Amino acid sequence: MDQIAVLIPCYNEGKTIEKVVKDFKRVLPEAVIYVYDNNSSDGTAEIAAAAGAVVRHEYQQGKGNVIRRMFGEINACCYVMADGDDTYPAESAREMVDKVLYRNADMVVGDRLSSTYFEENKRPFHNFGNTIVRGSINTLFKNDIKDIMTGYRAFSRRFVKTFPILSKGFEIETEMSIHAIDKNLAVDNVVIQYRDRPEGSESKLNTYSDGFKVLRTIVRLFRTYRPLRFYSLLSLLMIIVAGILFAPIGVTYVQTGLVPRFPTLIACGFIVLAAIVSFFAGMILQSIYSHERQRFELDLYREMESDSERMIIEAKGREEGRG
C-alpha cells in the first residue's frame, strides 16, 4: 500500500500534464503519481508516462467515472486529488497531506475562493455559480466548507473506501462535500493560490449544463440525506397552495353560506391529503436514513480495524526483514 498517492484525472491536458506531474514529484517525492486518462486524443497519457507518472485508463467518459475507478483500484494511507490543468499549486500539497496523516482529517479542501479565484477566473458565471453552490449547501446542510467545488483535495483512506460514488461528471466534488458533512467526517480547509488555465488550455466544464447538474445533485442529495426536512418543506408548500386556493371559497361561504366552486374545493382536499402523505413519507424515510447512518458507522469501524491490522502486519514484516 502506498503511503501517499496523488490522483490526477485527465482529459486532453497534454499542454499542462508534464508540469503538473513534475511539480507533485518535487513537492511529494515519496508519493506515487497516478494519471488516469479519460479517452484523451492529444497524447496526455504518453506525456504523463514520460514525466514519471503511473498511467492508467478509464474508458467511461466523465470525471465521476474516473474518480470511482481511482478510489477502487488504489490503496494508500493518504490520497491527494488534483486536476491536470495546472490551476492548483502543488506547493500546498504537503500541508494538506500533513493534516490527513497527523491531524486525523478525513478530507482537506483546497480553498480557492478565499484567495485568488475571483481575480484569476475569467468566467464570471463560474464565480457566481460557486458562490450559489457554497451558500446553498452550507445553508441546507449546516456547515462551513469554504470551497464546495474545488478539485484539489486530500483524503484519508477511510473516506475513500467508504464513499459511494453516484455522480458521473463534474458534480462529483459536490457529492464529496455533502457526503463528508452528512457522515460527520473531519473536514479541514487549506487556502490555496488558484491560477487560471495557461493560454491554449481549454476547460472541459460547461458553465450552464454542468451547473444545472450540480444544482440537481444538491436537490437529490438533500432529499436523500435530509428526507424529513425535504418532505416537510414540500408538505408545507402544498399546504400553502391549498390555503391560497381555499381562501376565496372560505370567504364566500362565510358571507353567503354557499360554496361556489366545488371543483376547487375538491382540489384543495386532494392537495392537503398529498401534503399529509408527503410528511409521513418523510418520517418513514428519515427512519430508514437513521438506520443507514448506523450501518455506515459500523462499516467505518470495520475499515479502521482492518487498517490497524494491516499496519501491524506491515510492521512485523519490516522487523522480520531487519532480522
Domain boundary among 196, 225, 254: 225
Do 279 and 257 touch, CB atoms closer than 8 A? no
Q: What is the CA radius of gyration of the chain?
A: 25
Same domain, 217 and 239: no
Q: Which residue has the higher pLDDT, 126 or 32?
A: 32
User: pLDDT, tens digit, for every residue of 183-204?
Assistant: 889 999 999 988 776 666 666 6
Cell digits of residue 175: 457529492
**HSE, side-chain direction, 13 A CA sphere, residue 314:** 10
Helix (H, G, I), strand (E, B) or coil at 57: strand
Same domain, 161 and 277: no
Same domain, 27 and 64: yes
User: pLDDT, tens digit, for every residue of 7-52?
Assistant: 999 999 999 999 999 999 999 999 999 999 999 999 999 999 999 9
Same domain, 112 and 256: no
Q: Which of 10-14, 221-225, 313-317 has the lowest mean pLDDT?
A: 313-317
The torsion defined by the Cα of 119, 115, 192 and 177, in degrees rounded to 10, comes to -100
Same domain, 202 and 258: no
Report the pLDDT value the prediction gives residue 119, as an integer from 0 to 100.
66
Closest CA relative to residue 79, chosen from 15, 160, 139, 144: 160
Give the number of other Cβ atoms within 10 Å of residue 151's Cβ.
Answer: 23
| 142 φψ region: left (φ > 0), alpha (ψ -120 to 50), beta (else) | left
* Gap between the Cα atoms of 191 and 170, Å rounded: 21
Domain boundary among 225, 258, 278: 225
Q: Which residue has the higher pLDDT, 8 or 145?
A: 8
Angle formed at CA 275 by CA 227 and CA 288, multiple of 5 degrees: 25
Report the pLDDT value the prediction gives residue 203, as an integer from 0 to 100.
62
Query: Which residue range forms the structural domain that includes residue 200?
Result: 2-225
Same domain, 303 and 193: no
For strands 54-57 and 32-37, give the pairing.
parallel
Domain boundary among 177, 202, 225: 225
* Gap between the Cα atoms of 224 and 181, Å rounded: 13
Q: Which residue has the higher pLDDT, 306 or 11?
A: 11
Q: What is the CATH number of the domain that holds 58?
A: 3.90.550.10
Same domain, 183 and 251: no
Please, which pLDDT band fits residue 272 given cuts at 50, 70 and 90? very high
Sheet holding 2-10, edge to edge: 54-57, 32-37, 2-10, 76-81, 153-156, 107-111, 187-191
Query: Over 70: is that where the pLDDT of 170 sits?
Result: yes
DSSP 188-232: EEEE----PPPTT------TTHHHHHHHHHHHHHHHHH-HHHHHH
Same domain, 35 and 123: yes
The number of domains in the chain is: 2
Same domain, 283 and 317: yes
Closest CA relative to residue 172, chosen from 72, 48, 90, 65: 65
Q: Any idea which residue has 514529484 for its cell?
A: 25
Q: Which of 165-169, 194-198, 236-240, 265-269 has the lowest mean pLDDT?
A: 194-198
Same domain, 199 and 256: no
Same domain, 56 and 204: yes
| 93 φψ region: left (φ > 0), alpha (ψ -120 to 50), beta (else) | alpha
Same domain, 190 and 100: yes
